[in-house]
A and B are shown apart, each in its own frame.
Chain A
Amino acid sequence: MIAEPGLDGHDRGAKVIARALRDAGMEVIYTGLRQTPEQIVAACASGGRRRDRPVDSLGRPQPHRAAADGPAQSQKGLDDVLVVIGGIIPDLDIPKLKEIGVKGIFLPGTPMQEIVDFINANARARV
């Protein structure tokens, strides 16, 4: 699942990643722009069931610091969700993000294949 928190229109990266994951054979749910952390968690928790699809992993491009805390901390019953995040992320924030459970952090210039490989290696199938 690809989600883009916040008020702005920085959806370009999110869409590129969505496309890359899809081309790598993954099923991708894109939540659309301007999501709150709560909405993202809710969409993830519902397993995209509204659209009859399971959610495999959650990516959050272009995070806002406050937005980044939300999903990882309130993942109730979502312990098996692999949270990855991408965009311009200050060095200082990286350890904090890892501490709250973000597994993959991808900075500008990351090849798309690296993200695909990371998800393939770390996401577990939900049965």
Chain B
Amino acid sequence: MGGMVEAIERGYPQQEIAESSYRFQQAVERKEKVIVGVNDFVQQDEPPIEILYIDETASDTQLAKLETLKRTRNADAVARYRSTRCDRAAHGTTNLMPADHRRGPRLRHGRRRCATRFREVWGEYEESARHLVRTQPRNTRS
């Protein structure tokens, strides 16, 4: 197939995983596999579980902190870092981690400091539906 990168691009491991989970689910439903509490020995009249709900204000607080950070940090230094170190890393063949994770007290742009630049250069992974199934989809509407 040409190695793991090629295989992933062609969706081979993704298809195998999807295929395997589907077969697993079928086996569970036929009770060939038992998941205690799900398809066998299911507890009747289960007492309600107390659930911790995180208040919406938690995300507001966190977003406010982020806004403050972005406002107060040295924007020029961040931009410079992205257009130099991150850019070199994105276009090079060396290990990405040092550029992405390097600690620099003045910059304060987080551990994934190059993530934004990497996304700009490479784009984002988009999952393809062809990775869902091993065989060609049946044509249900012709």
Show the binding face of A for B, using Cβ within 8 Å: 11-12, 15-16, 18-20, 22, 25-27, 29-30, 32-33, 53, 90-92, 108-109, 111-113
Q: Which of A15, A26, A27, A91 contacts B132 (CB 8 A)?
A: A15
Instruction: Answer whether residue B9 sits at the interface, using C-beta atoms and an 8 A cutoff.
Output: no
Once the chains bind, are B133 and A109 in contact (CB under 8 Å)? Answer: no
Q: Evaluate whether A19 and B132 lie within 8 angstroms (CB atoms) in the complex, with A12-B21, A25-B140, A27-B141 already known.
A: yes
Once the chains bind, are A22 and B137 in contact (CB under 8 Å)? Answer: yes
Instruction: Return chain B residues, CB-CB under 8 Å to A15.
Output: 18, 21-22, 132
Show the binding face of B for A, using Cβ within 8 Å: 17-18, 21-22, 25-26, 29, 35, 38-39, 42, 48, 51, 126-129, 132-133, 137-138, 140-141
Once the chains bind, are B29 and A112 in contact (CB under 8 Å)? Answer: yes
* Chain A binding surface, main DSSP class: loop
Q: Evaluate whether A32 and B22 lie within 8 angstroms (CB atoms) in the complex, with A19-B132, A90-B51, A108-B38 already known.
A: no
Once the chains bind, are A19 and B140 in contact (CB under 8 Å)? Answer: no
Q: How far is the CB of A107 from chain B (nearest CB, A)?
A: 10
A-B contact count (CB 8 A): 49
* Chain B binding surface, main DSSP class: loop
Once the chains bind, are A92 and B129 in contact (CB under 8 Å)? Answer: no
The 10 closest A-B pairs by CB, nearest first: A32-B127, A109-B38, A15-B18, A19-B22, A16-B25, A30-B129, A90-B51, A12-B21, A27-B140, A111-B29
19 A-B pairs whose Cβ atoms sit less than 8 Å apart in the complex: A11-B127, A15-B18, A15-B21, A15-B22, A16-B18, A16-B21, A20-B25, A22-B138, A26-B140, A27-B140, A30-B127, A32-B127, A33-B127, A109-B35, A109-B38, A109-B39, A109-B42, A111-B29, A113-B29
